[in-house]
Amino acid sequence: MSEEQKSHKNEKVGPVVSTKMQKTIVVQTSRRVPHPLYRRIVTKHKKFYAHDEEGTARVGDIVRIVECRPLSKLKRWRLEEVVRRSVLAGAPKPADLDVKV
């Protein structure tokens, strides 16, 4: 096969909205669908709980998650890769700066 093996598992891409749990991130995906009656395009959002073993994802990062076996009551996805880092994730904390308050 080629270098990049194509997986048949379902995958989604979206921003991380929460990292407050241990080894778990919350990824919000959005899709644009027409309203069933009025045919106007509406944006629908859904949150997915994903397993992040190393804790590499930060809030605001764009990540790719893939479907896996159930890991807990809500977790059925795992982090595949961080597609794009958030600008805020790389910002230093105020405690790390040499600023006297």
> Would you kindly state where each structural domain of the chain is located, as residue ranges?
11-86
**Mean pLDDT of the 72-80 span:** 97
- Pairing verdict, β 62-67 and 11-21: antiparallel
pTM score of the predicted model: 0.78
Q: What is the mean pLDDT of residues 64-90?
A: 92
Q: How far apart are CA 25 and CA 21, in angstroms?
A: 7
The answer to whether 53 touches 65, Cβ cutoff 8 Å, is: no
Neighbours of 100 (CB within 10 A): 4
- Residue 84: pLDDT band with limits 50, 70, 90: very high
CATH of domain 11-86: 2.40.50.140
Structure tokens at 89: 């994730």
